[in-house]
Amino acid sequence: MPFDFSNLSPGPVWSYFYDLSQIPRCSKHEERVITYIEEFAEKHNLPYKKDNAGNICISKPASSGFESRPAVVLQGHVDMVCEKNTDVQFDFNTEGLKLKREGEWITAEGTTLGADNGIAVAMALAVLADSSLTHGPLEALFTVDEETGLTGAANLDPSMVSGDILFNIDSEEEGIFYIGCAGGITTIGTIPVSIGTSKEKTEAYSLRIAGLRGGHSGAEIHEGRGNSVVFCSRILKALTDETKVSLFQIDGGDKHNAIPRECSASFTVGKGMEEQIVQIVEKYRSILLEEYSDIEPDLKVELIKLDSTPEKVLSASDSVKIIDTLFILPHGVIGMSRKLPGLVETSTNLAAVHLKDSTVTILTSQRSSTMSALDHIALKVRTILTHAGAEIKLEGEHPAWDPDPDSGILKTFKKVYTESTGKEPEVTAIHAGLECGVLGEKFENMEMISFGPDMKEVHTPNERLSIPSVQRTWDFLLNVLKEV
């Protein structure tokens, strides 16, 4: 049964949000949603431009009497992180999301919701479609491929956009205005390994870490959530300290900007080691539960003895090399900002590991609001990977967005917010890679600000969007557009 949004307000925003949820739009596969937006523009007789990267910008004339106002760009990205629970059968390339309401929140059944950043697209479309609204000249910029390296913004044709002020609607906490963001880079190490014949008199086991919350590797890295790859390597390291271990499978994580929720590793050891293996795994299961029970109540550490051993395994020395590399790679907060107390300055995410054929690929991402600190932590990660014999690939490098606490648009936002709520907003920077950093390099004189409704646990199947916060954020957006 289709999701019933008829009783939700604002109706047009939720209607467009539902439409978007039914269009497959994983990163790098946004063709269908761009076509939807093109058809929207043509239906409403609004001029638009599209560049070679796939970005699209729609223009809407000012309301009568507002023609001389500064031109505002409403900006969001059309792609989404496509993650699902392992027990869910779902094809992101062909199926629409199954939305459901849980109290005052909208979520999806077993998958990410795509509120990051579908709600921005929905709000922009609702503004464009409503001829009764009051505003100056408008542009709506919809970018592609934000989630896998900000490449849409990086490859944007700047001639498409002529606005003076940019509203990035890609933040996740209502009442917080962001005026700066971290720069970042993705560091990938590809390590060749030797595959040999499994020795006689061995037995095989499978170790699985599951039930973790995961989350955004920028916005939620400071919470100290568990990392399944880190947990798995910690246990494997303890095993290699006691006996020879030969890996034949290891898989954990997926996206560079998501804290991995699950990881599994399969390995062989000499026969007669079962009691010792079980004791080590149980020991670390108890340790991890004690250390993380407050933030990871659903953590699972499972060990299964397999019925048979594989024909091919990694050599014991290469198994140790991979396990040690994962074990010593840093993860989490590296340093806090001294300019903005409470803000993470620098972090790194051990995002994924995969063994395929005779290659192990390790995916990491680094972030910092200070470019020299970003260079330092990225170099440290590269050095560790290089010592393991990895070939290094760097992707998605993007600059930080330097805060301007004296910008005119920030003053307007604060004024409108205080008048409508009676409260002072929080003004800060975010430890995540917003497109503002990339766009700021292309439009040096453009004022920018980022805001959005309340969202929780984005980039995970627990992602949810606050219904009342969408209404308040919509009302705020319309009031700001009148004021600018």
Catalytic residue positions, numbered: 79, 146
Phi, psi of 314 (to 5 degrees): -70, 150
Alpha-carbon distances, residue 462 vs 105, 130, 216, 250, 450 (angstroms): 11, 32, 12, 25, 23
Both tokens of residue 363?
């995916």
- For 169, the 3-state DSSP assignment is coil
Whole-number Å distance between alpha carbons of 305 and 239: 15
DSSP summary character for residue 423: S
Instruction: For residue 313, give the H/E element and its range.
Output: strand 312-314
> Coil, strand, or helix at residue 67?
coil
Residue 71 DSSP label: P
If residue 272 lies in a helix (H) or strand (E), which one and from where to where?
Answer: none
> What's the CA gap between 474 and 380, in Å, rounded?
43
CB–CB of 463/456 below 8 Å? Answer: yes
**Distance between CA atoms of 22 and 10, rounded to whole angstroms?**
19
Contacts of 445 (CB under 8 A, 6+ apart): none
Angle at 448 between CA 443 and CA 452, to 5 degrees: 135
